[in-house]
Amino acid sequence: MIGVKKNGNLWRLKLKDKLRLAVIFGGRSGEHEVSLMSARSVLDALDREAYDITEIGITKEGRWLSGDDALKAFETGRQADLIPVALLAEPGLAMLYERSSEGLRPLTDLDVVFPVLHGTYGEDGTLQGLLELADLPYVGAGVLAAAATMDKGLFKTLMMGSGIPVVPGITVNSSELPERMEAVLARVEALGAYPFFTKPANLGSSVGINKVTNRSDLLEGLMEAAGYDRRLVIEVGVNAREIEVSVMGNDEPEASIPGEIIPGDEFYTYDAKYIDDTSELLIPAAIDEITAAEIRRLAVEAYRAVDGAGLARVDFLLDADSGEIYLNEINAIPGFTKISMYPKLWEASGISYSELLDRLIAYALERYEQKRNLIRSYGDEA
């Protein structure tokens, strides 16, 4: 059985047989390696008595591959023995197909998909759109929420429209940099005093993010961010503490206790997150109850504002000088290693890693059932 909260009670889905679950990892983004780390933790924790698991890896070039121990093959760079596979964007099939020179051959039926993909082409609504067309249940945000939370510039606009405080900033296109660089620099410096943060609008895990303290650094930061995305976000630097909350659920989302990141670097960089092991996670965060309650409230409010589903990690900046709270971003598919903040916050809130996976899969099925009951053609209600 898989249980989730529904109307304050425990709602259970009874399964006669194993649920045929596809776990997808890798992908065409700068977070490919992070995805493999997350997928390893997920696959190690899934209950093999409850799930018949198919591993699907996506290469950096976008090829879909599957086979026995597909994740291990990706981890070791030995993908030659894996087979090319495909999902078809056609409802009613719910099937993974093997691809060959002779065409497509049915490989395995699927009941639900667990995307463990970070960044572009996995967390940004593109994969979610394919799964919607294929009419397959999947864990996590739908197309709208995934796309809206992936683009930091658009997300900032949505939050301001919802009355949720965010750090001041601007969004520019990379095409503006060579020809209108002086105008871009002037717009950034009009925001206030240095430092600023330069970011690719559509990426995570702190890839391509830089803290810049002068105009020369700003130029370099903009050019580096432009190497990852055509849209760039520049934000005012805040002397901030980094507070994170895990959210789970569909129509009645719940927020975990807040945690705090003490970066081992100048800010929470990619290296500080995944490589040098110098950052510290404080769970719970060392904040007062009123601040913690407000952060949890804002996390749920932001999640609802983008029509979040399944899960998200909601990140805040708490100004160490003024005590002001700023919503930084929502991660629709957050890091999922066993030491990542998302599962650790739920563990501290009383939900184990394995139980967390069960709940997320159940939320995927619940959301799918809701959509199945919708009227798709005018007059069908008659």
- Asked if residue 151 is part of any domain, the answer here is no
H or E segment at 317?
Answer: strand 310-319
Is the predicted pLDDT of residue 358 greater than 50, yes or no? yes
- Asked if residue 118 is part of any domain, the answer here is yes
Distances (CA, A) of 20 to 53, 64, 91, 138, 225: 6, 18, 17, 12, 39
Find the range with the poorest average confidence among 34-48, 149-163, 193-207: 193-207
CATH of the domain at 323: 3.30.470.20
Q: Which pLDDT does position 7 carry in this prediction?
A: 41
- Asked if residue 181 is part of any domain, the answer here is yes
Is the predicted pLDDT of residue 375 greater than 90, yes or no? no
Which one, of 15, 300, 18, 257, lies nearest residue 164 by Cα?
300
Q: Which pLDDT does position 378 carry in this prediction?
A: 64
- Asked if residue 269 is part of any domain, the answer here is yes
Is residue 134 domain-shared with residue 35, that is, in the same domain?
Answer: yes
- Asked if residue 153 is part of any domain, the answer here is no
Is residue 229 domain-shared with residue 109, that is, in the same domain?
Answer: no
**b/e map of 211-235 (b: 16 or more CB within 10 Å)?**
bbeeeebbbebbbbbbebbebbbbb
Is the CB of residue 32 less than 8 Å from the CB of residue 26?
Answer: yes
Is residue 109 domain-shared with residue 125, that is, in the same domain?
Answer: yes
Which one, of 359, 49, 117, 2, lies nearest residue 127 by Cα?
117
Where is the domain boundary, 213, 236, 259?
236
- How many domains does the chain fold into? 3
Q: Which pLDDT does position 334 carry in this prediction?
A: 94
Where is the domain boundary, 180, 208, 236?
236
3-7, 237-241, 264-268, range with greatest mean pLDDT = 237-241
State the Cα torsion 354-360-362-365 to the nearest 10°.
-140
Distance between CA atoms of residues 312 and 78, nearest Å:
32
Is the predicted pLDDT of residue 275 greater than 60, yes or no? no
| Biggest CA pair distance of the chain | 66
- Asked if residue 146 is part of any domain, the answer here is no
Is the predicted pLDDT of residue 271 greater than 70, yes or no? no
Contacts of 216 (CB under 8 A, 6+ apart): none
334 CB neighbour count, 10 Å cutoff? 25
Both tokens of 226, joined, read 């432009």
Distance between CA atoms of residues 157 and 124, nearest Å:
17
Where is the domain boundary, 216, 236, 256?
236
What average pLDDT score do residues 273-295 get?
84
Both tokens of 374, joined, read 């919708």
β-strands 259-262, 240-249 pairing? antiparallel
381 CB neighbour count, 10 Å cutoff? 6
pLDDT in tens, 4-63: 444 433 344 544 579 999 999 999 988 899 999 999 999 999 999 999 999 999 999 999
CATH of the domain at 186: 3.30.1490.20
Is residue 136 domain-shared with residue 10, that is, in the same domain?
Answer: yes
pTM of the model: 0.88
What average pLDDT score do residues 280-288 get?
95
Which residue range is the domain that position 176 belongs to?
A: 168-236
Is residue 134 domain-shared with residue 178, that is, in the same domain?
Answer: no
- Asked if residue 323 is part of any domain, the answer here is yes
Is residue 70 domain-shared with residue 49, that is, in the same domain?
Answer: yes
- Asked if residue 174 is part of any domain, the answer here is yes
Which one, of 151, 202, 157, 158, lies nearest residue 305 by Cα?
158
Is residue 248 domain-shared with residue 209, that is, in the same domain?
Answer: no
What average pLDDT score do residues 359-364 get?
98
Beta bridge partners of 281: 261
CATH of the domain at 11: 3.40.50.20
What average pLDDT score do residues 203-214 get?
80
Is residue 111 domain-shared with residue 70, that is, in the same domain?
Answer: yes
